């Protein structure tokens, strides 16, 4: 009885392993990489001040 149980468990483990490998291979075949669309240009959320305003100019020390 114990030998039959070991054989059944071994067969079940083998079948599970084979099914897992097949599912992994099949999933890898069907997936294609789709490149995402390009992002929009970077924009600041506020209007920048013109360079003539003194707050905009940085001082060098």
Whether pTM exceeds 0.85: no
Across the range 41-45, mean pLDDT stands at 74
Q: What is the average pLDDT value for the chain, to the nearest integer?
A: 79
% the chain with pLDDT above 70 = 69
Q: Indicate the Cα dihedral angle 49, 50, 53, 58, nearest 10°.
A: 80
Please give the pLDDT value at position 50: 61
Please give the pLDDT value at position 21: 92
Instruction: For residue 32, give Cα distances in angstroms to 14, 23, 29.
Output: 30, 16, 8
The string of pLDDT tens digits covering residues 7-32 is 999 999 999 999 999 988 887 776 67
Please give the pLDDT value at position 15: 96
């Amino acid at each position: 009885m114990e030998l039959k149980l070991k054989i059944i468990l071994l067969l079940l483990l083998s079948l599970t392993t084979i099914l897992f490998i097949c599912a992994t291979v099949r999933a890898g075949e069907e997936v294609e990489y789709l490149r995402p669309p390009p992002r929009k240009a970077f924009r600041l959320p506020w209007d920048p001040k013109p360079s003539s305003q003194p707050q905009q100019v940085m001082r060098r020390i």
